[in-house]
Amino acid sequence: GAGVSQTPSNKVTEKGKYVELRCDPISGHTALYWYRQSLGQGPEFLIYFQGTGAADDSGLPNDRFFAVRPEGSVSTLKIQRTERGDSAVYLCASSPSGFYNEQFFGPGTRLTVL
Amino acid sequence: GQQLNQSPQSMFIQEGEDVSMNCTSSSIFNTWLWYKQDPGEGPVLLIALYKAGELTSNGRLTAQFGITRKDSFLNISASIPSDVGIYFCAGPTDSNYQLIWGAGTKLIIKP
């Protein structure tokens, strides 16, 4: 079946602009995660959804970052007033239950802030 | 806080060679996970370890859960070109859903 998909695959924006990154999880997966991966680093946890609600958003770096999952499927990560330091690969993962060893990752969106 | 340290940072090897890499922490982990990430892709789970001292294989890959529960090792035997990529170790936090990740070991095969 289809895996996790993320769009766009690449996004180039200017400092100060607003961006939205989309994640389509595997059908039927109730849990969804967003991670940020900087060059030469492992993924860094941002937020975890169980269904429509954000069960844990402790990894969001500041209030410029926000994520939604209104119908419990597709999720959008929103970044306001982008800064050059936001440049990274943003990974999405979904899981049938949320347990940490059952995460299936998408290919990521590479965000570049000029 | 909890941190995972991976070494080496990168490895240049010849095709056919065996590879060893490790992951250490100052904290105890009850589970160790090893992932591989290819360029332009997300990480894929290779091996999961749940018990101190456990040795688990997946094809040419073998991973061990250190007896102190503060380290884990991944070995790849007879490397082939498709083994190229970045290998990450990860372990769970106190929650049952969140992982902490190492910085990765990059495997490069010399032509």
- Please name the residues in contact with A63: beta carbons below 8 A apart, sequence gap of 6 or more: none
Q: Which residues of chain B have pLDDT under 70?
A: 1
pLDDT on residue B110: 87
Nearest CA in chain B to A43: B101
Which residues in chain B touch residue A42, judged by CB atoms under 8 angstroms apart?
4, 88, 90, 101-104
Q: How far apart are CA B3 and CA B23, in angstroms?
A: 10
pLDDT tens figures, A46-92: 999 999 999 999 999 999 999 999 999 999 999 999 999 999 999 99
CB proximity A53 to B under 8 Å:
no
Which of A37, A38, A101, A109 to probe by mutation at the B interface, max B CB count within 10 Å? A101
pLDDT tens figures, B47-72: 999 999 999 999 999 999 999 999 99
